[in-house]
Amino acid sequence: NIIERNVTSGLIYLPSSARDLNNPQIDQYLAKYVRGSNGMDHVQRIKILKLMWDAIGSEFGGRHELYEINYSGSQDEIRLQCLRQAQS
């Protein structure tokens, strides 16, 4: 749950297969938008995120749960909004 809450969108936009890294047109976008920090390149970051994905989710269930988390927003903020509405 900690990984899902902190890395959610990073797990959703991963390339579907390693073939995307071998395609120069797609790889240039991956290098631009999926790069890591502190000198980590996009290939290293993708490998780490894929490993996290394998550790926390199934193909459909995990992706759907991540979509729901991202679609509805922060769980804490939703709870606070409900509290504010109940108090008003």
d(CA 77, CA 54): 28
What is the predicted pLDDT for the residue at 23? 92
Report field, pTM of the whole predicted structure over 0.75: no
What is the predicted pLDDT for the residue at 7? 66
Task: Specify whether the CB–CB gap between 49 and 7 falls below 8 A.
Answer: yes
What is the predicted pLDDT for the residue at 85? 92
What tens-digit pLDDT sequence spans the chain (88 residues)?
666 666 666 666 677 788 888 999 999 998 988 888 888 899 998 888 888 777 776 666 667 677 777 777 777 888 899 999 999 8
What residues does each domain of the chain span? 2-87
What is the predicted pLDDT for the residue at 66? 73
What is the predicted pLDDT for the residue at 3? 66
- The CATH number of the structural domain formed by 2-87 is 1.20.140.10
